[in-house]
Amino acid sequence: MDQHSITEVADDASSSATPAFLGQEHRKAIEKAESAILDILARDEFQGPRWERTTNSLAEYGWLTLVKWLGSGEIFGRCLAIGRRLPHNEAARIVLRHDWDTRLELATDTVLAAMPKFRERLASGQWDPGQASLTTYFVGALILEFPNIYRRWERGRVLGEKEMPLDVMFDAPSAERGPAARAAAHDEIERILWTMPPDIRKIVLLRADGYTLSEAAMILGMTTKAVEHRMARWRTRYTKRRTAEQPPQPAES
């Protein structure tokens, strides 16, 4: 993406950072100061103590901005505005709304991935202080980088916590054993579902719909541990009842 496009992204990303009431003279003063910063960083070859202080400040601001946008979902709109549409996965967005650690992880990964590319753009003269402030330009770089980080996280989330098939959940006959076993499994699962307590049934149906255990817990307003404990207690009771229903085995002669 060329410098002009990056600047457009950045301008949209932090349009509120520069109040509309600033006069032309004030803007010129800011632009002059930003140009001086660029000259200093360039003389330092974008390394050393002054570069580190500058990037630390930018990283902190960008990180806090991303954490906020991840929680509100605004980051997806920012990506869409630059043509980087991300698949709408409500389960993943529930995690981002409620899981502080995940927001911190994604924000951190995005900042770390964007910083080397940001440095390259500055070193190659792609930043024009007259078009966007350094902070604004950096936020634009984060928006450009976020889709890559998000897709990688989403792939890992899906692969790491696949939904549990109902026949495995209930230890019912596997559907892979043929039509008769498939029909038996379906009947058994239907019977079990409608004998479950309502809270357990909700958990099971969410899992069957593809939600992970942690996502189901968030939807139901519970902790993951609480969901695990309820399911474990129910499985214990179900196993005992199923064992008791089995006909006694004939004694060996």
- Express each pLDDT in 125-172 by its tens digit: 888 888 888 899 999 999 999 999 999 888 876 655 544 444 445 544
Collapsed DSSP state (helix, strand, coil) of residue 162? coil
What is the distance, to the nearest Å, from the Cα of residue 73 to the centroid of all Cα atoms in its chain?
10
Number of Cα atoms under 13 Å in the Cβ half of residue 6: 25
End-to-end CA distance of the chain: 82
| Amino acid, single-letter form, for residue 90 | E
* Averaged pLDDT for residues 25-38: 82
What is the pTM assigned to this prediction? 0.58
| Distance of alpha carbon 49 from alpha carbon 55, whole angstroms | 10
In terms of Cβ atoms closer than 10 Å to its own Cβ (0-12, 13-18, 19+), residue 1 is: middle
* Averaged pLDDT for residues 25-51: 86
Query: Given this model, what pLDDT does residue 246 score?
Result: 66
Query: Given this model, what pLDDT does residue 8 score?
Result: 52
CA distance to 43, 78, 95, 229, per residue, from 91 (Å): 48, 20, 7, 22
Q: Considering the chain, what is the average pLDDT of its residues? A: 78
| Distance of alpha carbon 188 from alpha carbon 190, whole angstroms | 6
Confidence of residue 96 (pLDDT cuts 50, 70, 90): confident
Between 102 and 194, name the one with better pLDDT.
102
- Express each pLDDT in 187-237 by its tens digit: 666 667 767 888 888 888 777 667 778 888 888 888 888 888 888 888 888
* Least confident interval from 10-14, 19-23, 82-86, 230-234: 10-14
105 pLDDT higher than 80: yes
Query: Given this model, what pLDDT does residue 128 score?
Result: 86
Structural domains present in the chain = 3-160 (no CATH), 166-244 (1.10.10)
